[in-house]
Amino acid sequence: MSEKFQHPEFNGHLTQNGSTLNTSNKISADKPETVERGEWVNKWEFILSCIGLSVGLGNVWRFPYLAYEHGGAAFLIAYIILQFLVGKPMYFLELVLGQYSGKGPTALWALNPSAKGIGIAQALISIVVAIYYNVIMAYTLYYMFASMQTTLPWTVCKEEWKQFGCVEKTTKALKYCDPDKNITEDCRCTLNATIDMYPFVNCTNVTYTGNPTPVAELYFYKEVIQKADNIYPKDVGNPLWKLALCLLLSWIVVIVCLIKGIKSSGKVVYFTATFPYVILLILLVRGATLDGAIEGVKYFIIPKWENLLNLKVWVAAAGQMFFSLSVSFGGIIMYGSYNKFTNKVYGDALLIASMDLITSVIAGFVIFTTFGGMAKVLGVEVQDVAKGGYGMAFVAYPEALSNLPPPQLWSILFFFMLFTLGLDSEFALLETTITCIQDEFPRLRKYKSHLCIGFGAACYLIALSCVTPAGDYIVTILDSYGADFSVLFVAACECVAVFWVYGIRRFVKDVTYMLGRPPSPSWYWAFCWAFCAPVLIALLFVYRMVEYSAPMINKDNAYPQFAQNIGWAITAFVMCPIPLMFLYKLLFQANGTLWQRLVTITTPTSEWGPNDGSMKQGLQMDYIANNGRHAYDNPAVVLSADDKVNGYETIVPDEENHKF
């Protein structure tokens, strides 16, 4: 007796005495009633949410400066190569895992129970990042509101800032005049007439003392975050009320948008994922019309080919590629798990990864065309105005925008764009943790709003320490220790657990079953999954550990040892679930010899299988044990002897019509 099965809608029916048995009723009757996980309303909500997750603040302030600092187009070439060898394969892997299983980062490890700690680690990393990421979003709100003034506050020096060398426009630091050295160059007057009046000495009087410091830089560090001199407890102080209110507003926006999960956030991303591109294109056109824009572009794209031989360039490109795509944070798996099983995720993964690269390049042109025009106006070199990290978003670019009439408009648009860029990423970070909890405890799904509000309130209270005068140092600790090499460790473990333990052949067969055909070119995916991704990520992790250097308070002093110890404690907190869960499974959930225990805890459980309805039922039935419990074994279900006696028999698929 046989029945043909057509992919992807198999029907693992059982028959009793020649009649079909409806297994779905039997199963549903035994299950406790829970709220469904939900699905994306349409494909665009999924794609825009993924783009919003991958395209974040780092694309605007980190990628352009890294490209400039590491050889322009040489860095871009390294970035593209690594994205093809590691980025795209890892992104595709995580989307497939989520969509195939219909489970979040913790529940999907039914495919390899020993690795469940990976999902827990991803949830912990996501919540750590969510805490400090929203602080940066609070900065953008602060600047957006500050832009609604007649005079932009970062364009005027306060009296108390003059002692720090405050200048209202970026000025090239001049050395004091020396007749033996400064014959043709501009130099700083010494107030010694003999030297200043020396023939051919170009003496320039300055209004500042010490080295010149742009007012935009002083505004950020002295007014906005009021940065303390150190991170000792006596330096922490109380939360700054303006930043605390901006942080509260940011968390309220996040919670309101997530209150109903993807049903609500999926609607918001239509605006938050597309609006930044509108502003980026407007700023690009405006920047391209500035006199001197071409000089800025040259700094961004002209390659320094010798840099391709520099290992640090590849490490910087790998770090940017890895964290820009948000691989191994759990968000990609989480978003994929809400897809329909038949969604053509192959093209989605390639599109989203490509959009991340395109956005980074567009942002680079936006930043450096503006910097080129700014350098031309001020009479300095582009490198004198270019800064990285915070300096790019809150010091250099605000000063550049102040030169574009009307400056208030451009500033409001820019900082609102930054806020919307961060909002999408924040959605995914918080939703990842909540999804993990709901997958482990399905009954909590009906309390989605309570979880959102509870997590939001807790994260806000924790984040208040990040808006104190020492908050900048705390944010750096959370970023450096909670979401840097710890993510690389998680990613390396993820590759090993899937490709080397579960098996590359099994995984490819699962992908083939879900997509209807193997991913092509098959040699490329197999090579990247089996070798490139795990090996390169592991090497990158080892390099980062070997070359570890403590964060710096300033150019001369590293963080105090107690602060570094706190950082390592955070690292242990997010990484320890992986070995601890492995040992727990090995010691308490398996029997026999060491080898037998290892086989047991690395064998997929009965809960692992495709999220396509009828096939899922075959895997979940208590009275049926499928051969190996893998998707490609199903629905050729093997019954026990007792089941056969009771009149049940399997319907075995026609192998000719179901090849993998």
**Would you state the pLDDT for residue 380?**
75
**Would you state the pLDDT for residue 401?**
83
Residue spans of alpha helices (H) in 165-310 = 193-196, 215-218, 233-236, 241-258, 262-272, 275-288, 293-301
pLDDT of 353-392, one tens digit each? 889 889 988 888 888 888 888 888 777 777 777 676 677 7
310 among annotated binding-site residues: no
**Would you state the pLDDT for residue 159?**
84
- Statement: 43-152+218-584 belongs to CATH 1.20.1740: yes
324 among annotated binding-site residues: yes
55 among annotated binding-site residues: yes
Q: Tell whether the model's pLDDT for residue 453 goes beyond 80.
A: yes
424 among annotated binding-site residues: yes
Question: Do 178 and 194 contact (CB within 8 A), yes or no?
Answer: no
**Would you state the pLDDT for residue 265?**
78
**Would you state the pLDDT for residue 193?**
58
What CA–CA distances, in Å, run from 228 to 198, 220, 330, 461?
43, 12, 34, 21
Percent of the chain with pLDDT over 70: 80
Q: Tell whether the model's pLDDT for residue 306 goes beyond 90.
A: no
DSSP string, 42-64: SHHHHHHHHHHHHS-HHHHHTHH
48 among annotated binding-site residues: no
**Would you state the pLDDT for residue 28?**
41
657 among annotated binding-site residues: no
Question: Do 399 and 268 contact (CB within 8 A), yes or no?
Answer: no
Calpha distance 575→579 (Å, rounded): 8
> Whole-number mean pLDDT of the chain?
81
Q: How confident is the model at residue 206 (pLDDT cuts 50, 70, 90)?
A: low
Q: Tell whether the model's pLDDT for residue 319 goes beyond 90.
A: no
pLDDT of 612-658, one tens digit each? 764 544 344 333 333 444 444 333 333 444 444 344 343 333 434 33
Calpha distance 537→492 (Å, rounded): 6
Predicted TM-score (pTM) of the model is 0.83
**Would you state the pLDDT for residue 600?**
94
What CA–CA distances, in Å, run from 98 to 430, 547, 608?
17, 34, 12
More confident residue, 337 or 633: 337
Q: Which residue type, as a one-letter code, is found at position 223?
A: E
For residues 219-229, average pLDDT: 92
**65-74, 283-292, 581-590: which has the minimum mean pLDDT?**
65-74
HSE-CB at 547 with a 13 A cutoff on CA atoms is 11
**Would you state the pLDDT for residue 625?**
39
Residue ranges, comma separated, of all CATH 1.20.1740 domains in the chain are 43-152+218-584
Phi-psi region of 260 (alpha: psi -120 to 50; beta: other; left: phi over 0): alpha
167 among annotated binding-site residues: no
What CA–CA distances, in Å, run from 68 to 63, 65, 299?
9, 5, 6
For residues 395-416, average pLDDT: 86
pLDDT of 139-167, one tens digit each? 999 999 999 999 999 988 888 887 887 87
Q: Reduce the DSSP state of residue 260 to 3 states and report it.
A: coil
More confident residue, 63 or 641: 63
**49-63, 124-138, 313-327, 604-618: which has the minimum mean pLDDT?**
604-618
